[in-house]
Amino acid sequence: MSNILYVGLNCIEPILDMPTNRSIPNKRWHLAFTAIYSSRALYSLLNQKKKKKCRKLPVPSNPSFVVVNVKPEAFSSIDHTTLTAIVNEKSFNKLLEFGGIEGVADALGTGIKNGIDGSVNDVALRQEAFGSNTYQRPPAKRLFHFVVEAFKDLTILILIFCAALSLGFGIKENGAKEGWYDGGSIFVAVFLVISVSAVSNFRQNRQFEKLSKVSNNIKVDVVRNGRRQQISIFEVVVGDVVCLKIGDQVPADGLFLDGHSLQVDESSMTGESDHVEINSHHNPFLFSGTKVADGYAQMLVTSVGMNTTWGEMMSTISRDTNEQTPLQARLNKLTSSIGKAGLAVAFLVLVVLLVRYFTGNTEDENGNQEFNGSNTKADDIVNSVVRIIAAAVTIVVVAIPEGLPLAVTLTLAYSMKRMMADQAMVRKLSACETMGSATTICTDKTGTLTLNQMKVTKFWLGQDPIEDSSLISTDLLNLIQQGVALNTTGSVYRATSGSNYEFSGSPTEKAILSWAVLELDMEMEILIKDFTILHVEAFNSEKKRSGVSIRSEADHNTVHVHWKGAAEMILAMCSSYYDASGRMKDIGDGERMTFEQIIQGMAASSLRCIAFAHKQIPEEEHEIRETSQKLEEDSLTLIGLVGIKDPCRPGVRRAVEDCQYAGVNVKMITGDNVFTARAIATECGILRPDQGINNEAVVEGEVFRNYTPEERMEKVDKIRVMARSSPFDKLLMVQCLKQKGHVVAVTGDGTNDAPALREADIGLSMGIQGTEVAKECSDIIILDDNFASVATVLKWGRCVYNNIQKFIQFQLTVNVAALVINFVAAISSGDVPLTAVQLLWVNLIMDTLGALALATEQPTKELMKRPPVGRTEPLITNIMWRNLLVQALYQIGVLLTLQFKGESIFGVNEKVKDTLIFNTFVLCQVFNEFNARKLEKKNVFKGIHKNKLFLGIIGITIILQVAMVEFLKKFADTERLNWGQWGACLGIAAISWPLGWVVKSISVSKKPFLSYLRW
């Protein structure tokens, strides 16, 4: 024995001849390696009984730490540059240099079947050696970028120009000490508007960055230590074995290990739309960022993060958050139109005042004629013209509603944040507001209306229900187990013999696997070892079935074909069936009708019906068919039927009723058969119990597809349920509904749903069961896959639109009143009662604080009692025109009375009168802000206690107004008011409340008022 050990140690001497200047941890790993290698060499020598010649020992050609694969030194035989080149260059030569895919797996310390060890240290060391699966993002836009962007706005540029004019004229007329007030205040106002706008956009950008991280955090199936588990895409490391199925995004670069019928969409990388077939013989190379179009497979990860082409490409792309929504575009147009009207009025005032001045129709403070031909000094003329221009500039300032775009930004940002809390992640801003206009929702059944927690509750063999598996013949039981274990994309894992089973795969696959393992005592690992899979046809939503051909290791002369899928489709492929005793019987017309009744009976109980079928064919016949790559589909033998229960989600019926009450039609589009679809739709409230299958409310996809275009357009509104539908049928329905003028929202989770999600006005993908393809094509991701969240999104969409309308009404009331007051006063007396500073203060409290107060109102139940807003509905409705015109006329009437009669009514001088006008005008806006909370309801105080921000803003506005009047006299050009005058101002402003209550009793026409103002 000592000789053997001596020889073994001599043989590893070259390997152990390492530098002595190593760290303590490395010495420990060195000793561990020595022990492992010595024991293996000793075992080998004892078995082979070769004790003399050292050269016959299996010493590795590259003596490194290959055995110990949990240190970076373990990967010294291969580096990330080589791995990257193998896949990027699709180099078979380089791959063969490493001994093919198996050689690369060995070099990476990966077991083909069991994957990597997956311990914390193992993962950390792989990340250290090959990098993590993340990519460098372009630096986030800083606040300064948004400040610069804000300066590019035309409204801001006009205000800056006006500020410069006003500042120059003010200093010219009143000197630098007091002449800067008007121009300086405009600059301050511009600064505040830019600051609020830039900070709001900056925060929105940060919010998008956070959402982007959430949406990019894809869950990936990997095999680690023999166990299939889900991890984040960012946790994938080189050496991982990743499981891929239809709709998945390939998470990293890698090599094909095992799988069937794998086709990949590489259009994101190459631009080519044709799918690329991936296999181990001709093209085993998989690229990060591509999508699985068909089949399933396992891949070995060779490059991650920045070492992949996708990572390099994504690091140069920043998400554009400057998307302008349709509502923002309409508001920008409205702002521009009002601004143009203001400019026109200002120009008219300028012309009238100049004409009045130069024709001698104006007087100075002493009652003398201001312009007297050549007798008037040039300096006096300049000062008078400057004052006239300043009055015109003031009108321009008040006319521009710069708060409108800001209000939209605040509303959208606030609603996005709240929707995220309500399990809806917005990918496109426009979807927030479009959802409020939705008239039809086309929803999936599985996982959206139901819980997606499936369980086999019924099992039929032949024409008999089976309660006890011991009654099934052994041969038939073996066939069932083969059909379940080998025709699946799921897997079963059990750590030890006494521990619980873990099932992975789709909910349907997990339900069938758990039933077969727990009730039929299926041993999946043994079956996989005993049979070789020859060909697979993967399941997809069009075929609604999957098939596999297998050969037993014990019998190479026979090939077994197993099919599994939608019960009535599998039944149509069968000509015989097995009874419970295992005898094969022919299916005649009577038997076929019996089976159809069994299927319908289970479907009527809301069960999803799955059938298993089998055919045994000789090896010779299989070889002939193998060239066509098609499985035998005719003359199959039906093995059995299972019924899978998927209960409806709690609260889904209430959510459906809420949508219907809100005037939104809910249609269910499902791949299940018509009986299951009808049962679930009735349970969810989409169908009434009296709406049977023969009713036009329920239709099969094939029937809908075969309608003429005219028939489809006629019947599409009546359809409530479409069963056995293909993705093309869903797309066809969306197109028909849009042609009829509907605003359509569609839910989808599969790859094949992508066309319908793109075509819809609002695409809603599922966050849990949704494939990456579906998510990328959607506008909003429903994070909990729950239809109740869809109804919540609808409510938030309406809230966004409603909040914007509230602010428009409020803002336009201010603009109309201020514009008319200053215009009339300027024309009649040559002076304006509201100075630039005062008007800018009004604009600021209305634009910034008002926007914040009204834009953050939360959804109410009343919103869901209104019909949807149509595509052509004007933004400013008749109700809004009624409210704003009455309030504006009241304010104009009161303030003009004060302008012309205020001095005599209150017995005050002109300065105090102007302060009274200013104070009354501001307080009118404060009271009118309450009126704006409800466009139609008379009780404007309902729910006000819930909006603390609104009450806080009202309080701040009043405090600041008191400061403007009482303490900032010089800056605001005001005089202090006594208690009686304050009471009068409050009393006049408070009349806005009863006036608003009375006005809302006046009915309005449905025909749009000023229909040409379709902003």
- Active-site residue numbers? 444
Is there a contact between 330 and 1015 (Cβ–Cβ < 8 Å)?
A: yes
DSSP conformational letter for 216: H
User: Which DSSP symbol is given to 635?
Assistant: S
Is 781 in a helix, a strand, or coil? strand
In order of 775, 919, 920, 994, the CA distances from 988 in angstroms are 55, 11, 7, 11
Burial of 103 (0-12, 13-18, 19+ CB in 10 A): middle
Q: What's the CA gap between 518 and 510, in Å, rounded?
A: 12
Please state, as a whole number, how many other Cβ atoms lie within 10 Å of the Cβ of residue 375.
7
Q: CA–CA separation, 289 vs 268, rounded Å? A: 7
Q: Kindly give, in sequence order, each residue whose CB lies less than 8 Å from that of residue 803, ignoring residues fewer than 6 positions away.
A: 407, 411, 854, 855, 856, 857
Q: Which helix (H) or strand (E) holds 610?
A: strand 607-618
CA 684/CA 689 separation, integer angstroms: 11
Pairing of strands 636-645, 607-618: antiparallel
Alpha-carbon torsion, ordered 875, 880, 885, 891, to 10 deg: -110
Contacts of 340 (CB under 8 A, 6+ apart): none
Rg of the Cα atoms in the chain: 38
Please name every residue paired with 440 in a beta bridge, in sequence order, or none if there are none: 665, 744
Task: Kindly tell me the burial class for residue 302, based on how many C-beta atoms sit within 10 Å of its own C-beta (0-12, 13-18, 19 or more).
Answer: buried
Residue 119 tokens read as 């311990």
Listed residue (542, 581, 587, 543) closest to 563, CA to CA: 543
How many other CB atoms are found less than 10 A from the CB of residue 577? 24
CA dihedral over 749, 750, 751, 757, signed as positive or negative: negative
Buried b (16+ CB within 10 A) or exposed e, 528-552: beebeebbbbbbbbeebbbbbbbbe
Q: Torsion-angle region of residue 226: left (phi > 0), alpha (psi -120 to 50) or beta?
A: left
Cβ contact 637:613 at 8 Å: yes
**Alpha-helical segments (H) within 295-325:** 309-314
Which residue(s) pair with 426 in the sheet? 780
Counts of helices then strands in the chain (DSSP H, E):
38, 26
Any alpha helices (H) in 567-651, and if so which ranges? 567-572, 589-604, 619-626
Nearest to 193 by CA among 844, 961, 849: 844
Burial of 416 (0-12, 13-18, 19+ CB in 10 A): buried
**What does the CA dihedral 377, 379, 383, 389 come to, rounded to 10 degrees?**
90
Alpha helices in 98-254 (DSSP H): 100-107, 120-130, 143-151, 154-179, 181-216
Torsion sign across C-alpha atoms 619, 624, 630, 633? negative
Distance CA 116, CA 173 (A): 82
In whole angstroms, give the CA distance from residue 302 to residue 509.
29
